[in-house]
Amino acid sequence: MAGATICAARQVASLTALFRVTHPGIVSEAYMALKNDLVQAAPKVLCWYGVPVLLTEAQRFNLLLHDLYLHTATGGDIDNFQQLNGRTTAYVYSFDHYAPMLRAHSESMQVSAAKKLAGFINSFCSHNSVVVTRTLSPKVEDVFHQADVSFLQKDLTYEKPFFHFIRTHAMPLFHKYERPDRNYIRVVPKEVNEFRVFVKNLGRPTDSTMTAKLVNLSLNGLSLKMQDSKYRNLDLREAVQVTLRSPKMAIHITCGFVTRINTETDEIAVNFNLNDKSFIEHRDAVQLQRLVLMTLEQGARLELGKKTESVMPELLGAQSNARGGA
């Protein structure tokens, strides 16, 4: 009982803030391109082909807290970029990564590659795309300017200019006034049915442990489908302890607060603060972050894996020929 009182007293301010984002109805999802069985509510999606910096998991998760998922795109993703296109999606293309071998041959080949890339971008996403390069060729620059595609010479191989670029050039690509900034997402891990969930009411320590199934996860909470009627003794804002176990991992949430109870579906929502050790220990927070990030990436790959007609076969062939002649 004392532990529950201390936990509740220390986190009352956090609870108030977290409660505001518990109900998905306050956020419009009409313009989300990334939405499928794995991702129920997505942040802004920045597809970057040729990310010049190797980001840590913590840095990627910090971007999520600022309503941005950075998707590291591969060559196989480009043809299907339009699958993720929407008002909360933007694209960055590294021309150095896009045509690395062409640079060693001739400027005419670079110009040809630039024309194909500009044509591809203009086919669906010129308004929310930018091309970056470290070394500037006036003729290549002219191709993108003539095509009305944003083009920037910038060395982004260091973290400081990289994150400055995201703030000053990437973020303005989004239709930011069409949806409020938020740090609320909902994902459903592929392994959702493998998790066994145990819930303990901290306000009534003598009550038996309740069992549940995981419904979805967010950056600061989770939804559970309770497996018996004992959860009906819970009250809103009551402190609970939650443990998730699967064959691959175990995540222990020391203290969370009940922010939603739906007796029709037998579901409850529990919110917590990943940055506060009185809610969740660092090791468990890292595991939960990793699970959210992995599920977002799998959801993006699921969309990009949908079959569409290739729009750049000539360019890919040109790159292959260039490699063969190197």
Q: Higher pLDDT residue, 59 or 309?
A: 59
**What confidence score (pLDDT) does residue 87 get?**
83
**What confidence score (pLDDT) does residue 309 get?**
47
User: For the chain, how many residues are written?
Assistant: 326
Q: Higher pLDDT residue, 102 or 172?
A: 172
Nearest to 169 by CA among 97, 92, 65, 94: 92
Residue-range domain boundaries for the chain: 2-23+188-299, 44-181
What percent of the chain clears pLDDT 70, i.e. is strictly above it? 79
pLDDT band with cut points at 50, 70 and 90 for residue 14: very low
Q: Which stretch of 28-32, 175-179, 306-310 has the lowest confidence by average pLDDT?
A: 28-32
CA–CA gap between residue 266 and residue 213 (Å, rounded):
11
In this prediction, residues 89-114 reach a mean pLDDT of 81
Judged against a pLDDT cut of 50, whether residue 137 lies above it is answered with yes
Task: Report pTM.
Answer: 0.81
pLDDT band with cut points at 50, 70 and 90 for residue 315: very low
**What confidence score (pLDDT) does residue 139 get?**
92
CA–CA gap between residue 292 and residue 189 (Å, rounded):
8
CA–CA gap between residue 174 and residue 261 (Å, rounded):
35
CB 248 within 8 A of CB 192: no
pLDDT band with cut points at 50, 70 and 90 for residue 6: very low
- Classified as helix, coil or strand, 59 is helix
**What confidence score (pLDDT) does residue 319 get?**
45
> DSSP states of 217-267 as a string?
E-SSEEEEEESSGGGGG--TT-EEEEEEE-SS-EEEEEEEEEEEEETTTTE
What percent of the chain clears pLDDT 90, i.e. is strictly above it? 63
The amino acid present at 201, given as its one-letter code, is N
**What confidence score (pLDDT) does residue 22 get?**
35
Judged against a pLDDT cut of 70, whether residue 291 lies above it is answered with yes
Third-level CATH fold of 44-181: Rossmann fold (3.40.50)
Q: Higher pLDDT residue, 12 or 158?
A: 158
Question: Which CATH code fits 2-23+188-299?
Answer: 2.40.10.220
**What confidence score (pLDDT) does residue 102 get?**
55
Q: How crowded is residue 19: how many other Cβ atoms within 10 Å of its Cβ?
A: 17
Give the CA dihedral 136, 140, 143, 145, nearest 10 degrees.
0
The amino acid present at 303, given as its one-letter code, is E
CA–CA gap between residue 249 and residue 227 (Å, rounded):
21
Judged against a pLDDT cut of 90, whether residue 90 lies above it is answered with yes
Q: How confident is the model over 157-196, as pLDDT tens digits?
A: 999 999 999 999 999 998 655 555 555 689 999 999 999 9
Judged against a pLDDT cut of 70, whether residue 214 lies above it is answered with yes
Most distant CA pair in the chain, distance: 77
The residue written with tokens 């999520």 in the block is 64
Tokens of 157: 């191989």
In this prediction, residues 222-239 reach a mean pLDDT of 95
For strand 250-262 and strand 239-245, is the pairing parallel, antiparallel, or unpaired?
Answer: antiparallel
Q: How confident is the model over 145-154, as pLDDT tens digits?
A: 999 999 999 9
CB 33 within 8 A of CB 83: yes
Tokens of 92: 């960055």
